[in-house]
Chain A
Amino acid sequence: MLRVLLLTLSVVAIAHAELCKPDAQNAFKVRLSIKTALGDNAYAWDANEEYLFKAMVAFAMRRYSSKNTTQISNVLLCNVTDRVSFWFVVTDSSKNVTTVPGSEVEAAIRMNRNRINSAFLLSDKTLQFLKITSTLSPPVEPSTPVWLIVFGVVLCLTVAGIVFLVVTGIQQRKKKNKESTERENLEEKGEVTVTVENGIPCETLDLKAGHINGVFAADDERFTSL
């Protein structure tokens, strides 16, 4: 009895080894870069993480094919390296010792890539399925391009400045014209101008008819010439 059991186990093990090896048919290589993604919070890759991986692949297969036949034991991992990279296959429990076609596995992984990534706290770049390409997300485009808004602001400020300066220039010129015409009008009417010295308007002083103060005139020679 024991011998039969041992024999079946070894057959299964050999069959598994046959199914899962590098570059086997329908096998995929997976590469994780945990330290790059998480830095100090990196977890170690051990048997529990492998179990989770098998569970996620089984989950993906179940969701994709919507027949609840894939078990965790159907997912085989092999050649785990320090990198952390390994190969996996998904066996078909209904047909003995065969693997699920690669296209199905690929489609299932692609459909659930997001869930698998988040289970391991990784991204498309740090959890790589080497033969499965990821679809690129479209770039985020805001409704109005940002630069147009900034441009509008700059242009409005500039135009406002120009209008302000032009208007003040026109006002200044009008004021100057008004002043010069006023002064002309005043001079025509012969009124006194604004120059004032000691409270006496200069124009009223008739300099020609004034008197020269002898005291100051005589002292002119005493001053040293500049």
Chain B
Amino acid sequence: LSVLPETPKEDGRPKWDNKFQYILSCIGFAVGLGNVWRFPYLCQIHGGGAFLIPYFIALLFEGIPLLHLELALGQCLRKGSIGAWNTISPYLGGVGVGSWMVSVLVSLYYNTVLAWVMWYFINSFQEPLPWSVCPLNENRTGLNEECYKSTAVNYFWYRKTLNITADVTESGTLQWWLVLCLATCWAIVYLCTIRGIETTGKAIYVTALFPYLVLTIFLIHGLSLPGATDGLAYLFTPNMNTLKNPRVWLDAATQIFFSLSLAFGGLIAFSSYNPPKNDCEKDAVTVAIVNSMTSLYASIPVFSVLGFKATTGYWDCLDRNIISIINEFDLAEESIMRQNYTAWVSFLNSSYPEKIAGLKLKSCDLQEFLDQGVSGTGLAFIIFTQAIILMPGSQAWAILFFIMLFSLGLSSMFGNIEGVFTPLLELRIVSKSIPKELLSGIICLICFLIALCFTLGSGSYWIDIFDSYASSLPLLVIAFFEVIGVAYVYKIKRFSKDVKWMTGRKPNLYWQISWRFISPLLLLIVFVAFVTLQIQKPPSYAAWNPKYEGFPTKEEKVYPPWVLAICVLLAVLPCVFVPLVALFHLIKRTRRGKDPSFAQPEVFSCQGTSS
């Protein structure tokens, strides 16, 4: 008889087909829309290349330690977030529930953003692109007024896509085209997560790798556009003075934290499907570095295109002025070119100042065009779409761009859904006989029905609220308790032994110090700074109101009290589970403490699963 190799204990838990799938899933979860539309903006407003310094410091002392912690936790305990934290200590079970709650809230609104991307994608097949021309008004005498006053791109986004209302309290009606797109998005998410990691593991090959291909194509094309070098120089020129502003350090810390998708429970779920003896330290460092490199890599095409757009805007401004001058003075065409524009204007101003003043020429400044920094949906749906119209072959570029955004968002959705799905599978609430397909179907259906609220006229205001309150503060709180829980409740010595058993080497001094002191301290500082900044001014939002006098600038409005109550509820609800569950178990224990016959539960250890 041959000697059989040591087989790991079969616990019927699904596993990754290969290590590459797992790494790709983690990378796909971490790399999301924020890498494309938040990081370049932060780089731009915080002094370009200088921003990289606080960013990498935050990565080193906050991002990588926390990531390693989560991956090691999931791999050792082999359970989703709720089960894992219950195993570490019943008092910390609330941390898992909080993670789960945040994953649910984020899944709700994140897919609506993908529905917007899908809407733009399916509209990109039209020639000419629908956001390039203004429609005519009702009696066909001119262009639609709202479109004429703002721009065609703005009109398509605010009116034709969102059909936005002027106030968060006016709900408007369900926009049927968005409902259709949302249904399709949830169908696609269901298709990919139907059997948990069995199906997402296959889908991730496409959704995680495709964006890199498109980014490379955009990089090559973007660098060939006129004005690209201006944009890049503007982005990367370091301005060291910004480092004196504490806001920059706060933004760097929060960007790293949210970019790595920590504290969602999704990473714990992913690593729980790993074989126990897997080098999670290397994985954590790999995922974190790939995520940051992707942010940097993505900012190059983004800024090339933004530089191109600024240059084109600047040239358009110059050309309009030149036309008015040659029309007024009846000079020959092409007598004034962009190069000698300033010389001509000064000459004409000295000879005919009243005429020049009468023309009301706009001052054209390239810096001013470059300074128009936008992040988030504005960058993708307004600025970038405007730049795409100016490129030859705009349909192809639009299609590529929106598929890329969709893949980026979809791979992040997998992590969110996995963070919701895995704990539910393990809780004994769900019977074992229910097939996985049915459970994931039910989750997707419920999320779709709730997310219909975001397809109302005021939907995008609500998504901003969810984004600012549900997915910012609770994550900081949960991550803080995660680190404290592992470092001081589970004890770092025990955790280091577990990690050594899994990876084969003891975590070195860097990890020890980060987990024990630096990361909790950093998280605490970031949390306090974040809350201080939030409560300094009353929360307001910018509404798109065509009847506003200052239109097309947005109208600053304050949230009414009931909306503020919802904001506070969103921020507090996931966090409140941490003390609630601890209190519940404390009460249970004090009641049990009166009964001496109860035996202490055995101490959990990683190695115990496979001996």
| A interface residues (Cβ-Cβ under 8 A, vs B) | 31, 33-36, 81-85, 136, 138-139, 145-147, 149-151, 154-155, 158-159, 161-162, 165-166, 169, 173, 197
Tally chain B residues at the interface, Cβ within 8 Å.
34
CB closest residue in chain B, given A135: B140
Chain A residues whose C-beta falls within 8 Å of the C-beta of B184 in the assembled complex: 151, 154-155, 158
- Give B185-225 interface residues, CB cut-off 8 Å to A: 187-188, 190-191, 194-195, 199
A197 to B184, CA, bound (A): 54
Chain A residues whose C-beta falls within 8 Å of the C-beta of B7 in the assembled complex: none
A151 to B123, CA, bound (A): 9
Q: A136-B140, A136-B142 are in contact. List 14 more A-B contacts (CB 8 A).
A: A34-B333, A35-B333, A83-B327, A84-B332, A136-B141, A138-B136, A139-B133, A139-B135, A147-B122, A154-B184, A158-B184, A158-B188, A158-B191, A162-B190
A70 to B122, CA, bound (A): 55
Chain A residues whose C-beta falls within 8 Å of the C-beta of B352 in the assembled complex: none
Distance in angstroms from A21 CB to nearest chain B CB is 15
**A35–B334 CB distance below 8 A:** yes
A136-B142, A147-B125 in contact; A162/B194 too (CB < 8 A)?
Answer: yes
Residue contacts A-B, CB under 8 angstroms, 18 given: A35-B333, A82-B330, A82-B331, A83-B326, A83-B330, A83-B332, A138-B136, A138-B140, A146-B126, A147-B125, A150-B121, A158-B184, A158-B187, A158-B191, A162-B191, A165-B199, A169-B194, A169-B437
Chain A residues whose C-beta falls within 8 Å of the C-beta of B199 in the assembled complex: 165
**A83–B195 CB distance below 8 A:** no
Distance in angstroms from B470 CB to nearest chain A CB is 28
Selected contact of A85 from candidates B118, B122, B330, B335, CB within 8 Å: B330
The verdict on B298 contacting chain A, using a C-beta distance below 8 Å, is: no
Chain B residues whose C-beta falls within 8 Å of the C-beta of A154 in the assembled complex: 118, 122, 184
A147 to B333, CA, bound (A): 42
Chain B residues whose C-beta falls within 8 Å of the C-beta of A147 in the assembled complex: 119, 122-123, 125-126
Chain A residues whose C-beta falls within 8 Å of the C-beta of B122 in the assembled complex: 147, 150-151, 154
Chain A residues whose C-beta falls within 8 Å of the C-beta of B1 in the assembled complex: 197
Chain B residues whose C-beta falls within 8 Å of the C-beta of A162 in the assembled complex: 187, 190-191, 194
Chain B residues whose C-beta falls within 8 Å of the C-beta of A145 in the assembled complex: 126
Chain A residues whose C-beta falls within 8 Å of the C-beta of B601 in the assembled complex: none
CB closest residue in chain A, given B194: A165
The verdict on B5 contacting chain A, using a C-beta distance below 8 Å, is: no
Chain A residues whose C-beta falls within 8 Å of the C-beta of B118 in the assembled complex: 154
Selected contact of B327 from candidates A31, A136, A165, A166, CB within 8 Å: A31
Chain A residues whose C-beta falls within 8 Å of the C-beta of B327 in the assembled complex: 31, 83, 85
A151-B181, A158-B187 in contact; A139/B136 too (CB < 8 A)?
Answer: yes
A63 to B592, CA, bound (A): 105
A138 to B141, CA, bound (A): 10
Selected contact of B195 from candidates A34, A159, A165, CB within 8 Å: A165
Distance in angstroms from B425 CB to nearest chain A CB is 15
CB closest residue in chain B, given A82: B332
Chain A residues whose C-beta falls within 8 Å of the C-beta of B140 in the assembled complex: 136, 138
The verdict on B180 contacting chain A, using a C-beta distance below 8 Å, is: yes
Chain A residues whose C-beta falls within 8 Å of the C-beta of B437 in the assembled complex: 165-166, 169
A85 to B188, CA, bound (A): 60
Chain B residues whose C-beta falls within 8 Å of the C-beta of A151 in the assembled complex: 122, 180-181, 184
Distance in angstroms from A158 CB to nearest chain B CB is 5
**A136–B333 CB distance below 8 A:** no
A112 to B60, CA, bound (A): 73
Selected contact of B333 from candidates A83, A146, A150, CB within 8 Å: A83
A109 to B184, CA, bound (A): 53
Interface of A: prevailing SS: helix
Distance in angstroms from A226 CB to nearest chain B CB is 10
Selected contact of B191 from candidates A139, A150, A165, CB within 8 Å: A165
Distance in angstroms from A24 CB to nearest chain B CB is 17
Chain B residues whose C-beta falls within 8 Å of the C-beta of A83 in the assembled complex: 326-327, 330-333
Chain A residues whose C-beta falls within 8 Å of the C-beta of B608 in the assembled complex: none
CB closest residue in chain A, given B119: A147
A99 to B544, CA, bound (A): 52
CB closest residue in chain A, given B118: A154
Distance in angstroms from B209 CB to nearest chain A CB is 19
A187 to B199, CA, bound (A): 35
A149 to B121, CA, bound (A): 12
Chain A residues whose C-beta falls within 8 Å of the C-beta of B141 in the assembled complex: 136
Binary interface encoding of chain B residues 122-136 relative to chain A, with 1 for a CB under 8 A from any of its CBs, else 0:
110110000001011
A130 to B39, CA, bound (A): 49
CB closest residue in chain B, given A35: B333
The verdict on B393 contacting chain A, using a C-beta distance below 8 Å, is: no
Chain A residues whose C-beta falls within 8 Å of the C-beta of B195 in the assembled complex: 165, 169
A3 to B191, CA, bound (A): 99
A3 to B142, CA, bound (A): 57
Chain A residues whose C-beta falls within 8 Å of the C-beta of B181 in the assembled complex: 151
A166 to B184, CA, bound (A): 17
A139 to B334, CA, bound (A): 32
CB closest residue in chain A, given B1: A197
A155 to B182, CA, bound (A): 11
Distance in angstroms from A218 CB to nearest chain B CB is 19
The verdict on B12 contacting chain A, using a C-beta distance below 8 Å, is: no
Selected contact of A81 from candidates B180, B188, B190, B330, CB within 8 Å: B330
The verdict on B435 contacting chain A, using a C-beta distance below 8 Å, is: yes
**A161–B191 CB distance below 8 A:** yes
CB closest residue in chain A, given B135: A139
CB closest residue in chain A, given B137: A136
A34 to B333, CA, bound (A): 8
**A173–B331 CB distance below 8 A:** no
Distance in angstroms from B315 CB to nearest chain A CB is 14
Chain A residues whose C-beta falls within 8 Å of the C-beta of B119 in the assembled complex: 147
Chain B residues whose C-beta falls within 8 Å of the C-beta of A31 in the assembled complex: 327
A84 to B335, CA, bound (A): 12
CB closest residue in chain B, given A79: B330
Distance in angstroms from A29 CB to nearest chain B CB is 10
**A150–B125 CB distance below 8 A:** yes
**B333–A155 CB distance below 8 A:** no
A83-B326, A151-B122, A162-B187 in contact; A33/B333 too (CB < 8 A)?
Answer: yes
Distance in angstroms from B432 CB to nearest chain A CB is 13
A166 to B141, CA, bound (A): 55
A36-B333, A83-B330 in contact; A155/B125 too (CB < 8 A)?
Answer: no
CB closest residue in chain A, given B334: A35
Chain B residues whose C-beta falls within 8 Å of the C-beta of A85 in the assembled complex: 327, 330
A31 to B122, CA, bound (A): 42
Chain A residues whose C-beta falls within 8 Å of the C-beta of B135 in the assembled complex: 139
Chain A residues whose C-beta falls within 8 Å of the C-beta of B125 in the assembled complex: 146-147, 149-150
Distance in angstroms from A182 CB to nearest chain B CB is 20
CB closest residue in chain B, given A81: B330
Distance in angstroms from B105 CB to nearest chain A CB is 25
CB closest residue in chain B, given A34: B333
A162 to B192, CA, bound (A): 9
A151 to B331, CA, bound (A): 52
CB closest residue in chain B, given A153: B122
Distance in angstroms from A40 CB to nearest chain B CB is 12
Chain B residues whose C-beta falls within 8 Å of the C-beta of A150 in the assembled complex: 121-122, 125
Distance in angstroms from B597 CB to nearest chain A CB is 41
Distance in angstroms from B534 CB to nearest chain A CB is 39
CB closest residue in chain A, given B121: A150
A83 to B325, CA, bound (A): 11
A139 to B191, CA, bound (A): 39
Chain B residues whose C-beta falls within 8 Å of the C-beta of A166 in the assembled complex: 194, 437
Residue of A84, A85, A151 contacting most chain B CB atoms (<10 Å): A151
A48 to B380, CA, bound (A): 52
